[in-house]
Structure 1
Amino acid sequence: MNATAIVTGGCGGIGAATASRLAADGFTVYSTDLAGAIEAATEAVLATAHHRLVHDVADEDSWADVVGHVLSIEGRVDVLVNNAGVGNMATAVDEMVAGWHRVIGITQMGVWLGMRAVGPIMVEQRAGSIVNVASIFGSSGGKGDMFAYHAAKGAVLSMTKSAAVLWGPDQVRVNTVQPGFVQTPSLERNADAARVEWMTTNAPLGRVATAAEVANAIAFLAGRESGFITGADLVVDGGWLAR
């Protein structure tokens, strides 16, 4: 029986790279994203997973549909990668209530809903690995903007530890990967030259990561090689937080 993985935000840079890496590792991969993202995805992105499912991570009914569909076919869920997330550039002063709710709903609540949806299944299996994609902006102040995103990613770090303690006795592991800056379509759309220079000059390795490098870390935490690791934060930032 093949192990099964669900990857949210699978049409994005890290999500697509993670789906591809897990598929190469032998998982049957169900990649999820919004309908518009799937429709706009390239053939190369669509080819990274075995199955594509329309999914709104901020909606609990959508989670029930996705997990129910996977269970009806596979009978189990071995890995969940909570990768989907959004942000904006607003500061604590500039942020609006609507913007706050959107970022928190997708980037923080979406992670909670995912854990809530698959955790009991993994407990019943007495096996499973959840990898939540956080950010170095959950552990640092960045440039003082992206306020809601910082709040959401900080919450992901603490929620992960709480869930790891809750489900550890049932052999369900929960960890985070904290990427730094990653070469993705989102970065290319949203970061101007000055911001990219700030990203690279503050990283001791002097560059941004590739999506594949982050996917490698996620795959490690998802797989058997990390069998005694839970409640951990794996930082993949080229040394950015070390400064």
Structure 2
Amino acid sequence: MGLEGRTALITGGASGIGAAVARRLAAQGAAVALADLNPAALATTAAALTAQGARVLALPLDVTDADAVQSAVAHAGAELGPVRLLVNSAGITGAGAPMGQVSIADWRRVMAVNLDGAFFMMNAAFPVMAAAGGGAVVNVASVMGTVASARFAHYAASKHALIGLTKSAAADGAAMGIRVNSVGPGFIDTPLQDGRMDAARRDHIAAQHLLGRWGTADEVAALIVWLLSAEAAFVTGSHHLVDGGYTAV
């Protein structure tokens, strides 16, 4: 797939979709820099990949800190080689509340992580990628970047905006040899969902997907890794749903 020897930086890399991407990239021979706010999960995931023979760097990182992002990209480059692959998987949903009751602090935090974080990462990584001969970026949006959701206006707005940011970044990146795409997962079983709803609610959501179930992190990771690979060399500026048919009807 043309990934061997490349350095990938994955935000939200300690668990869920980010960790699943890291496992697939490592299996293809890529070096992986895992960036995450959760130090315990970061250490566990990094240790597991190292035990499998992967070149791994654990990077404690708050993606809302632009200076820390710049340092993380530089550190990954110094330890593993210039970052050529970037996956912006870090994200939060925020607290559910109807319009009129969304706290300003929650709005700003969701936007800071989901949108500012992806922008800071690309802004820092683009010059490195261009100097190294190009690269590929995948931004993890959501089905809620395509449709809407009551009580989660902040989350939906951040993911709609992330898709627009992806397209603009692709327009800028083309001349630098940098491809940029986004994916829109449906409801995926990840630690982000743990304890958020009861069984009845989970079953109701599963039924909203044509396939009648929740997705897995590895199913999303398979699409992300393909988009990063040489097999997707003519794919840029586009949004790819992996939602079990959630948005089809």
TM range (shorter): over 0.9
The structure 1 segments of at least 4 consecutive aligned residues displaced by more than 3 Å after TM superposition are 40-46
Q: Deviations over 1:79-119 (max 9, x none)?
A: 00000011121232221111111110011100000110101
Match of 1:93 among 97, 100, 109: 100
Q: Is residue 43–residue 58 contact of structure 2 (8 Å, CA) maintained in 1?
A: no
Q: Specify the code of the residue in structure 2 equivalent to 1:104.
A: M
Task: State how far apart, in whole Å, the 2-side matches of 1:187 and 1:3 are.
Answer: 31
3-state SS of paired residue (2:20): helix
3-state SS of paired residue (1:112): helix
After TM superposition, the score normalised by the length of structure 1 is: 0.94
Alignment-derived partner of residue 239 in structure 1 = 245
Structure 1: stretches of 5+ with no match in the other structure:
none
Shift of 1:40: 4.6
Q: Is residue 16–residue 48 contact of structure 1 (8 Å, CA) maintained in 2?
A: no
Alignment-derived partner of residue 39 in structure 1 = 40
Shift of 1:176: 0.3
3-state SS of paired residue (2:9): strand
Match of 1:105 among 86, 90, 112: 112
Q: Specify the code of the residue in structure 2 equivalent to 1:60.
A: A
Match of 2:15 among 9, 12, 17: 12
Q: Deviations over 1:17-43 (max 9, x none)?
A: 111111111110010111xx1225573
Asked if residue 223 in structure 1 is aligned to residue 229 in structure 2, the reply is yes
With over 3 angstroms needed to count, the CA separation of the structure-2 counterparts of 1:45 and 1:194, relative to structure 1, is: farther
Match of 2:86 among 80, 84, 92: 80
3-state SS of paired residue (2:195): helix
Q: Specify the code of the residue in structure 2 equivalent to 1:164.
A: A
Q: Is residue 16–residue 45 contact of structure 1 (8 Å, CA) maintained in 2?
A: no
Shift of 1:75: 3.6
Task: State how far apart, in whole Å, the 2-side matches of 1:44 and 1:167 are.
Answer: 31
Q: Is residue 33–residue 58 contact of structure 2 (8 Å, CA) maintained in 1?
A: yes
Cα RMSD (Å): 1.6
Q: Specify the code of the residue in structure 1 equivalent to 2:227.
A: L
Task: State how far apart, in whole Å, the 1-side matches of 2:49 and 2:61 are.
Answer: 17
Q: Report the count of equivalent residues.
A: 240
Q: Specify the code of the residue in structure 1 equivalent to 2:91.
A: G
Asked if residue 153 in structure 1 is aligned to residue 159 in structure 2, the reply is yes
Task: State how far apart, in whole Å, the 1-side matches of 2:74 and 2:44 are.
Answer: 27
Q: Deviations over 1:1-31 (max 9, x none)?
A: 8210000011221111111111111110010
Match of 2:176 among 153, 170, 178: 170
Shift of 1:44: 5.2
Q: Specify the code of the residue in structure 2 equivalent to 1:178.
A: G
Shift of 1:166: 1.0
Q: Specify the code of the residue in structure 2 equivalent to 1:194.
A: A
Alignment-derived partner of residue 3 in structure 1 = 6
Q: Specify the code of the residue in structure 1 equivalent to 2:11.
A: T
Task: State how far apart, in whole Å, the 2-side matches of 1:42 and 1:125 are.
Answer: 29
Shift of 1:171: 1.3
Q: Is residue 46–residue 58 contact of structure 2 (8 Å, CA) maintained in 1?
A: no
After TM superposition, the score normalised by the length of structure 2 is: 0.91
Q: Is residue 13–residue 42 contact of structure 2 (8 Å, CA) maintained in 1?
A: no
Q: Specify the code of the residue in structure 2 equivalent to 1:43.
A: T
